[in-house]
Amino acid sequence: MGAAAIGAGVGALGGVVQMISGASQANRARKALDAYTRQNLTNKYEDLQVSTLGADLQKEQLAQSTATGVDVLRSSGDRAIAGGLYKIIGQGSLETRRIGAELDQQQKQNDILRAQDEVRIQTMMERREEQDLAGIGQQLNVGQQNVQRGLGTIAQAGMTFANAMGNNPSGEIPNNSHL
């Protein structure tokens, strides 16, 4: 019984160590899961603004052109002013709408860039979080499996000890002096 009892004791001790280690690993995984924080990524196009430099230059050119046209009309007389003024105003209005359309197009492009970057950021964050949480989940599973294996090892050691006692019901340690 001596060798079997010692083997069973060592096995039980190994099972306890494995069970404690697994419980500790599972506990660390639970704490990591509780402390997990989402990443904060920023949109690189968030502060992108519409450039008004070109529009400002076009407005200046329009103002100069309008002023020049009005000066020409003044020097041409009252009839020229009456007919030409509506033409100059119409051209100015058309040019102003074209400048506004260009600015609107820039704004739409900026909005598209922001939206695309938001999708990229969201996808990246989800992928990273899935990987992080999968790793923590795996650590938790391994810890729980080690607890179960430790319990199994303890149970096996108990059965080994019981079998050893069954083969030697008196519980006496045999004298191996004849060896």
83-113: pLDDT as tens digits: 777 787 888 888 888 888 999 999 999 999 9
When pLDDT is cut at 50, 70 and 90, the band that residue 172 belongs to is low
pLDDT in tens, 51-77: 888 888 888 888 888 888 877 877 877
The answer to whether 119 and 64 are in contact (CB under 8 A) is: no
> What SS3 state is found at 168?
coil
pTM: 0.55
For residue 174, give the DSSP letter. P
Q: How far apart are CA 115 and CA 117, in angstroms?
A: 5
Q: How far apart are CA 143 and CA 134, in angstroms?
A: 14
Q: How far apart are CA 90 and CA 98, in angstroms?
A: 12
When pLDDT is cut at 50, 70 and 90, the band that residue 170 belongs to is low
